[in-house]
């Protein structure tokens, strides 16, 4: 059987043109996806049943036992952390918010360690953006700043920018200029028309210089700014001003470096400035296929995109205080539920040391680094492979992922709904 128009649950591009060939309940071939997506669709080695850590060994337990363990853990915790969420569907994220509210926990998603700083910047100055198709059809200038799509979002270039057809571009490949700004000469840089190499930590200064040039204050610019020659800055600024439609896509190269959210703020203000001259937009290259969905769900349900603390009953938001890395590093939480992410691979060691000290339940189809810190892991269906559900593309377009095969694994939503029901029952008794 071939499933057409399947939705790839890997990165924020959320490509929805994938063909998946299934035989005997196994994926045997994948067409149209990139290497990352293909590997995910073909993924094997799933965990077979829920496991419980028993001293120095693992033992299998039933789903009922595992769900009960998780519900009891959350109910008896004083300050539980519910973390992850970008690797699951929106319907499951909604249940997660209700659970956090019920036990007065902290709910945070992986954006606190990817584009959390971008959100902080947006909360200061807003966000002039657009859907990916607007760029595909119109943009004659695309800037990748601190992002490396060839490695992290391989089809971004072919579906939306460098190699994409565009309604208003006669010869899109020729008529569309691509600028890459990075501290490394990445593979993406090698396909750019212009590569701007910045000294590490110099993004803020370069953005400020470009803003000054766009405002006509070129004479204030020194000979080089963070390693970038004045002439190149002027050339880039002129390319921007003379474009009919420019689009900036920025990545973790801006959010994780010195200055963090201030870098993004400066980039957005550059785009707002350019909007007075021509059409310009800016967008974040979101990593996980549904990390943007976790921001959307959290926002309509709690008011905030990430880092929400219900300990006072109301939703309280203060990134740096109510975000997962901080809460773990301060050894504040006394239990953790991890869904759809792998903090043990992606958090600093100090956070892991605390994970080792507290009860942890994880929902994940595969054994991963966090498994080592689990008291219980519950294997679940993979959204987009054996579970359906809503995901939000990096530009905010919501797409329902398809189920390409059937397995006996329950979905995240099913497992969380059972936990939530047990917790409500216990509290109402």
Partner 1 sequence: MTFLMITGRTVNQGVTVENKTSAEYAAETSTCFMHEFDMLELGLDDGDTIRVTGPCGEVVMRASASVEVETGTVFVPYGPYANHIVAAGTRSTGMPDFKSHDVEIEPTDEEPKTVYELMEDLGGLAYDR
Partner 2 sequence: MTELLVKNACVIDPLRGINAETMDIAILDGKIVEEVSDAAEVIDARGMLTLPGGVDSHTHICGTKVNFGRYMSPEDMRAGRTPRQGPLHATSGYSVPTTYGNSYRYSVMGYTTLLEGAMAPLEARHTHEEFVYTPLQDTMANTLFDGNWGIMEAIRDGDTKRVAAIIAWTLRAVKGFGVKLTNPGGTEAWQWGKNVSCIRDPVPYFEVTPAEIIRSIVEANELLGLPHSVHLHCNNLGTPGNYSCTLGSLGLIPDLNEKRQTLYATHVQFHAYGGSDWKDFCSKSEPIARFVDMRPQIVMDMGQVMFGRTTTMTADGPMEFNLYRLHHEKWSNHDVELETGSGIIPVIYRRKNLVNSIMWAIGLELALLTKSPWQCLLTTDNPNGAPFVKYPEIIGLLMSKKYRDAEFATIHPDTEARVPLPAIERELDWYEIAVMTRAGQAKALGIQDLGKGHLGPGADADVAIYPIRMDEVDPSAEYQKVIDAFSRTEYTIKRGRVVARRGECLVDGSNATFWVSPKVSEAYDMGKDPDFIEKFDRYYTVRMRNYPVQEEYLNRNRCIETEARI
Q: Name the site residues for partner 2 (rule: CB under 8 A).
A: 4-5, 7, 16-17, 90, 94, 98, 101-102, 119, 122-134, 136-138, 159-160, 165, 167-168, 244-245, 272, 275-276, 278-281, 295-296, 299-305, 310, 312-315, 317, 390, 392, 396-400
Rank residues 166 and 287 by Cβ distance to partner 2 and give the closer one. 166
Long-range contacts of 301-305 (CB under 8 A, 24+ apart): 301/94, 301/97, 302/97, 302/101, 302/107, 305/111, 305/119
CB of 104 to partner 2, least distance (A): 8
Cβ count within 10 A of residue 52:
17
Nearer to partner 2, 301 or 344 (CB): 301
367 or 396, CB closer to partner 2?
A: 396
- Which partner, partner 2, partner 1, none, binds residue 206 by CB below 5 to 8 Å per kind? none
Distance between CA atoms of 176 and 193, rounded to whole angstroms? 9
Q: Which residues are within 8 A (CB) of 101 and not within 5 positions of it... i.e. 6 or more apart?
A: 302, 310, 315
Rounded Cα–Cα distance for residues 121 and 262 (Å): 7
In the complex, the smallest distance separating the C-beta of residue 277 from partner 1, rounded to whole angstroms, is 31
Strands 177-182 and 194-197: parallel
341 binds, among partner 2, partner 1, none (CB under 5 to 8 A by kind): none
Q: How far is the CB of 166 from partner 1 (least distance, A)?
A: 26
Smallest separation (angstroms) from partner 2 to the CB of 23: 22
The angle at the Cα of 300, spanning 92 to 82, to the nearest 5 degrees, equals 45
* β-pair type (57-60, 316-317): unpaired
Residue with tokens 């853990």: 73
Residue 84, C-beta contacts closer than 8 angstroms, at least 6 positions apart: 109, 110, 338, 339, 340, 341, 343
Q: Which does 123 bind (CB under 5 to 8 A by kind): partner 2, partner 1, none?
A: partner 2
How far apart (Å, rounded) are the C-alpha atoms in residues 14 and 6?
A: 10
Q: Closer CB to partner 2, residue 98 or residue 199? A: 98
52 binds, among partner 1, partner 2, none (CB under 5 to 8 A by kind): none
CB of 204 to partner 1, least distance (A): 12
Residue 390's binding partner among partner 2, partner 1, none (Cβ under 5 to 8 angstroms by kind) is: partner 2
Spatial CA neighbour of 176 closest among 144, 150, 208: 144
Least distance to partner 2 from the beta carbon of 169, Å? 11
The residue (of 367 and 398) whose beta carbon lies closer to partner 2 is: 398
Our CB check for partner 2 shows the closer of 145 and 280 to be: 280
């Amino acid at each position: 059987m071939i499933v057409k128009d399947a939705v790839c649950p890997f990165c924020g591009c959320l490509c929805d043109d994938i063909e998946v060939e299934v035989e005997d309940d196994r994926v045997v071939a994948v067409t149209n996806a990139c290497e990352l997506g293909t590997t995910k669709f073909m993924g094997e080695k799933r965990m077979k049943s829920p496991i419980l850590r028993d001293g120095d060994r693992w033992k299998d337990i039933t789903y009922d036992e595992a769900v009960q363990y998780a519900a009891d853990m959350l109910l008896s915790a004083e300050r539980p952390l519910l973390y992850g969420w970008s690797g699951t569907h929106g319907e499951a994220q909604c249940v997660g918010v209700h659970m956090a509210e019920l036990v007065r926990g902290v709910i945070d998603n992986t954006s606190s360690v990817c584009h959390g700083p971008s959100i902080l910047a947006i909360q200061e100055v807003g966000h002039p953006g657009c859907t990916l198709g607007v760029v595909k059809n119109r943009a004659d200038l695309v800037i990748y700043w601190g992002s490396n799509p060839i490695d992290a979002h391989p089809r971004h270039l072919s579906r939306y920018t460098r190699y994409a057809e565009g309604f208003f571009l006669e010869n899109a490949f020729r008529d569309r200029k691509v600028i890459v700004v990075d501290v490394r000469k990445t593979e993406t840089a090698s396909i750019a028309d212009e590569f701007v190499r910045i000294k590490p930590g110099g993004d803020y200064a370069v953005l400020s210089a470009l803003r000054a040039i766009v405002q006509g204050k070129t004479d204030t610019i020194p000979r080089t700014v963070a390693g970038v020659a004045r002439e190149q800055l002027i050339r880039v600024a002129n390319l921007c001003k003379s474009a009919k439609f420019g689009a900036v896509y920025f990545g973790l190269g801006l959010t994780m470096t010195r200055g963090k959210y201030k870098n993004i703020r400066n980039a957005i203000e550059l785009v707002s400035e350019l909007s007075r001259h021509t059409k310009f937009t800016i967008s974040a290259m979101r990593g996980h296929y549904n990390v943007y969905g976790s921001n959307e769900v959290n926002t309509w349900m709690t008011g905030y995109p990430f880092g929400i603390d219900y300990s006072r009953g109301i939703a309280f938001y203060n990134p740096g205080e109510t975000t997962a890395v901080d809460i773990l590093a301060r050894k504040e939480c006394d239990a953790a539920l991890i869904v759809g992410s792998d903090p043990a691979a992606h958090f600093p060691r100090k956070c892991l040391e605390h994970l080792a000290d507290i009860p942890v339940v994880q929902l994940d189809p595969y054994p991963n680094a966090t498994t080592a810190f689990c008291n219980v892991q519950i294997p679940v269906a993979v959204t987009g492979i054996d579970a359906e559900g809503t995901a939000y593309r990096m530009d905010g377009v919501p797409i329902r992922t398809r189920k390409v095969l059937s397995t006996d694994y329950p979905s995240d939503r099913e497992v969380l709904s059972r936990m939530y029901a047990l917790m409500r029952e216990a509290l109402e008794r």
